[in-house]
């Protein structure tokens, strides 16, 4: 195994990482807050688990469709302007969520939020791939994905506190306030990103043709299938996590913010460490570690009964370490596949398929689990078994991506390292 010294970041690269991480914080917070609010939303709006699963998945479906449409245009504009346009639309959709006073209005608001928010993640990863070498991307992904943990440490506890103190609309107002500040900072400080526009080989046909070129690439299709499967298990577990914790594990709803805080704190420290490990020891090796740990902890978590709070916290924290150790290196591996001219389109399609498959997973999960007496979530372990199966399949797919597209591409770099 070759262990190379990771290249250092420039001051501007560090600034870009900070921008993208803060932006991801607001996007992830908005996406995640709907799940822990489930224990409040379902009785407040008098909806069933199936309806709540649809409320979660409508974001994913609209994000997926929007991403596919945007893919044809993703490589035709300055990425900074493209990013800010969709971010403004995302904040508008989030504001509508805060103003919703019925289940139907909430569905509409989540759809609008998904149309704009679903494209942002792909633009973030396209920018990451444009501005950072492959040898740096594990660390970059680690920092950016720490926004996931930050949303748990800062966002979810604050959101749950506001929801318990006032009403479930309050967290969405919080996101709009934070997001507006982040958007202004990015608009003022991020430089235009036009390298893909200056390429002499970039696609000059129609947007539809550009999308067709992306879909006709066999290696892209293989990567898309891996991306879709990676999100299935998580999307199944996530919508019902808070209800499972309260009604199955016997944890008081007031303790949920503490669980999210401690779990997020562990994940926040884990993200950058996983990124460094991916760049130093190999992205595929790190992915395998995360996949194995995820399988073990998910099987434990989904089969728990009434459990003491400290044990629930420990299980959640270790499970998220496994999830991060799988998520970060897989994204870094994927970044090696697209060419400069189709990078935005590849990331948009990949994000869309992730959202669509996740949305389908949420809907299916709503049919698998049922609500028993006192809110008890039945058949929850079945979701864990599905996640294990998809993890095993994606492990094989990641091996193929590593073998076919990363090992061969790294050979010139290794020669260069030896020469230096």
**Non-local CB neighbours of 372 within 8 Å, separated by 6+ positions:** 378
- Asked if residue 36 belongs to a domain, the reply is yes
- Asked if residue 4 belongs to a domain, the reply is no
233/357 Cα distance (integer angstroms):
10
**Domain span at 345:** 12-193+204-419
Query: Sign of torsion, CA 366 370 374 376?
Result: negative
- Asked if residue 199 belongs to a domain, the reply is no
pLDDT tens-digit profile of 44-77?
A: 777 777 777 777 778 877 877 887 777 666 667 7
How many domains would you assign to the chain? 1
Where residue 3 falls (left for φ over 0; alpha for ψ -120 to 50; beta otherwise) is beta
Residue 415 binned pLDDT confidence (cut-offs 50, 70, 90)? very low
- Asked if residue 5 belongs to a domain, the reply is no
Q: How far is CA 42 from CA 56, 258, 367, in A?
A: 12, 21, 16
Three-state DSSP at 378 gives: strand
Say yes or no to pLDDT of 204 above 70: no
Say yes or no to pLDDT of 243 above 70: yes
- Asked if residue 7 belongs to a domain, the reply is no
Strands 370-371, 377-378: pairing is antiparallel
Assign residue 252 the CATH number of its domain: 1.20.1250.20
pLDDT tens-digit profile of 16-33?
A: 888 888 888 888 778 777
pLDDT tens-digit profile of 284-324?
A: 889 999 999 999 999 999 999 899 999 999 998 888 888 87
Residue 130 binned pLDDT confidence (cut-offs 50, 70, 90)? confident
- Asked if residue 261 belongs to a domain, the reply is yes
- Asked if residue 384 belongs to a domain, the reply is yes
Determine which helix (DSSP H) or strand (DSSP E) holds 370, and give its type and residue range: strand 370-371
156/153 Cα distance (integer angstroms):
7
Longest CA–CA span in the chain (Å) reads 69
- Rg (Cα) of the chain, in Å, rounded? 21
pTM given for the model:
0.69
How much is the pLDDT for 311?
A: 93
């Amino acid at each position: 195994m070759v262990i190379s010294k990771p290249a250092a970041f420039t001051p501007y690269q560090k600034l870009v990482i900070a921008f993208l991480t803060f932006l991801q914080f607001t996007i992830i917070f908005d996406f995640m807050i709907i799940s822990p609010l489930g224990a409040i939303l379902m009785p407040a709006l008098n909806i069933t688990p199936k309806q709540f699963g649809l409320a979660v998945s409508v974001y994913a479906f609209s994000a997926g469709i929007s991403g596919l449409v945007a893919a044809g245009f993703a490589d035709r504009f300055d990425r900074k302007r493209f990013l800010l346009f969709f971010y403004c639309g995302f904040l508008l959709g989030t504001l509508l969520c805060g103003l919703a006073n019925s289940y139907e209005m909430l569905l509409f608001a989540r759809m609008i939020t998904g149309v704009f928010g679903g494209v942002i993640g792909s633009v973030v990863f396209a920018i990451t791939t444009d501005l950072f070498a492959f040898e740096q991307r594990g660390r970059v992904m680690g920092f950016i994905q720490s926004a996931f943990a930050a949303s748990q440490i800062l966002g979810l506890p604050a959101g749950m506190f506001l929801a318990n103190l006032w009403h479930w609309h309050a967290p969405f107002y919080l996101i709009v306030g934070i997001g507006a500040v982040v958007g202004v900072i990015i608009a003022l400080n991020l430089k235009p990103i036009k390298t893909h526009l200056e390429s002499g080989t970039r696609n000059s046909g129609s947007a539809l043709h550009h999308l067709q070129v992306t879909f006709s690439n066999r290696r892209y299709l293989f990567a898309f299938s891996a991306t879709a499967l990676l999100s299935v298990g998580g999307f199944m577990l996530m919508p019902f996590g808070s209800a499972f914790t309260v009604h199955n594990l016997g944890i008081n709803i007031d303790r949920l913010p503490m669980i999210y805080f401690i779990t997020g704190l562990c994940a926040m420290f884990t993200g950058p460490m996983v990124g460094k490990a991916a760049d130093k020891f190999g992205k595929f090796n790190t992915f395998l570690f995360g996949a194995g740990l995820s399988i073990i902890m998910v099987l434990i978590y989904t089969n728990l009964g009434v459990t003491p709070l400290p044990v629930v916290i420990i299980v959640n924290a270790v499970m998220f370490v496994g999830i991060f150790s799988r998520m970060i290196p897989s994204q870094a591996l994927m970044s090696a596949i697209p060419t400069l001219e189709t990078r935005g389109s590849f990331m948009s399609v990949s994000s869309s398929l992730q959202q669509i498959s996740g949305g389908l997973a949420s809907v299916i999960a709503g049919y698998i689990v049922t609500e028993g007496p006192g809110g008890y979530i039945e058949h929850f372990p079945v979701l864990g078994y599905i996640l294990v199966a998809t993890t095993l399949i994606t492990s094989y797919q990641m091996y193929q991506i590593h073998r076919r597209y990363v090992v061969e591409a790294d050979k010139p770099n290794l020669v260069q390292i030896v020469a230096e």
